[in-house]
Structure 1
């Protein structure tokens, strides 16, 4: 195991790993223990009482964070010529179709979100092996396959994110930056947690929200009391 630096030791010393903090206190603490020379991302990890191997217990959805993620999200709009102008006006960073499909075939994936139209999905199918592992394949369930391209681009730029439970039953999501006020981190965390609560599968039995942790880039995690959310 790698040795902790002096700053990392100081950060760990400030966290009581046997305590579940209120969401407000955890948000303030994760800001306090972030000691890096860049604006670190604040992440949330929510352990759910579901079995992701069963289709009726899969948890996947989207949420619009009230204060955004703090990240400049790069959006590629793969659209037909008649939709290019509205995609550009909505703020898409890259707009086009065949030329970008070719670039992706050649390995280019320097974007965060791809938004497209139902009529274009057929052309994207062969690129699944490139886009799938990177989480870039558009999906109607997350609103990234739509005829209302402008709305989709605007929402993503404003802080709309998608999430999916992993094979261990955990939802991971970036919910802000260390430069955010603690209250904004609280608001964003509350929004995603409440969204998850509303999505509880009927097949899930027992405790649904098992644990919640906040952390920032290279910081220790801070436990959150689910009852405080």
Structure 2
């Protein structure tokens, strides 16, 4: 793979083989943010579990104390008084069958989908569309709930979902490079705390195998995983 000059310059700023403590890793990661836009800082955590087994799944959601720096568009499936309540709480869209039909027609102008339990019969028909994009509402993620107002407020405040991919890695944003070290560290520790707390009882041996931070366009910076084991 060929990398550009900025990326190659960034790799000279950090030791990509070293294991850094959290603060130093974030400091080094921010040195590599050289793009003209405000790069996202991402975390990639490899866990010592096997996602093929249901009892070793790791999935949940957490509200980052400083948000993600991203404007989140929220779609809420609900009806009756909850429609007005969801919109008043900050939802971008709220409704029922009419939005199901729009999505079936290819409309996807949203980042988060929330649903009240009584709407799952409608939302279930969108599984083949929302599922592959990671947008299907889930009780574990707090996006299937009778309290749609709280769910909307949390989504707007910076709630993110974490879940294993097929290679047993969790990929999540923890903010923007412009946040600075302190805010990014608060977000990092909140997310890692949630991941460690979600350790399955069936997990054996070292739980956090590796943890890497990276800006959108920069190289990976390794965090020492020993404190999370």
TM-score (norm 1): 0.96
Aligned partner of 2:67 in structure 1 is: 68
Q: How many residues were matched structurally? A: 228
How far did 1:194 drift? 1.1
CA distance in 2, matches of 1:29, 1:18: 13
How far did 1:18 drift? 1.8
Q: What residue ranges of structure 2 are gaps of 5+ in the alignment?
A: none
Query: Do the aligned residues in 1 keep the contact of 2:16 with 2:219 (CA within 8 Å)?
Result: no
Question: Is 1:198 the counterpart of 2:197 in the alignment?
Answer: yes
How far did 1:98 drift? 2.1
How far did 1:100 drift? 1.1
Alignment RMSD, CA only? 1.1
Aligned partner of 2:148 in structure 1 is: 149
Give the secondary-structure state (helix, strand or coil) at the position aligned to 2:166: coil
CA distance in 1, matches of 2:132, 2:174: 22
Aligned partner of 1:94 in structure 2 is: 93
Aligned partner of 2:84 in structure 1 is: 85
Query: Do the aligned residues in 1 keep the contact of 2:58 with 2:198 (CA within 8 Å)?
Result: yes
How far did 1:162 drift? 0.9
Q: What residue ranges of structure 1 are gaps of 5+ in the alignment?
A: none
CA distance in 1, matches of 2:131, 2:108: 11
Query: Do the aligned residues in 1 keep the contact of 2:77 with 2:123 (CA within 8 Å)?
Result: no
> For residues 49-97 of structure 1, what are the alpha-carbon distances to aligned partners after superposition, in whole Å with 9 as ceiling and x for unaligned?
0011111111011111111111111001111022111101110011222
CA distance in 2, matches of 1:100, 1:88: 14
Aligned partner of 1:123 in structure 2 is: 122
> For residues 20-62 of structure 1, what are the alpha-carbon distances to aligned partners after superposition, in whole Å with 9 as ceiling and x for unaligned?
1111011111111111111111100011000111111110111
Aligned partner of 1:217 in structure 2 is: 216
TM-score (norm 2): 0.96
How far did 1:228 drift? 5.2
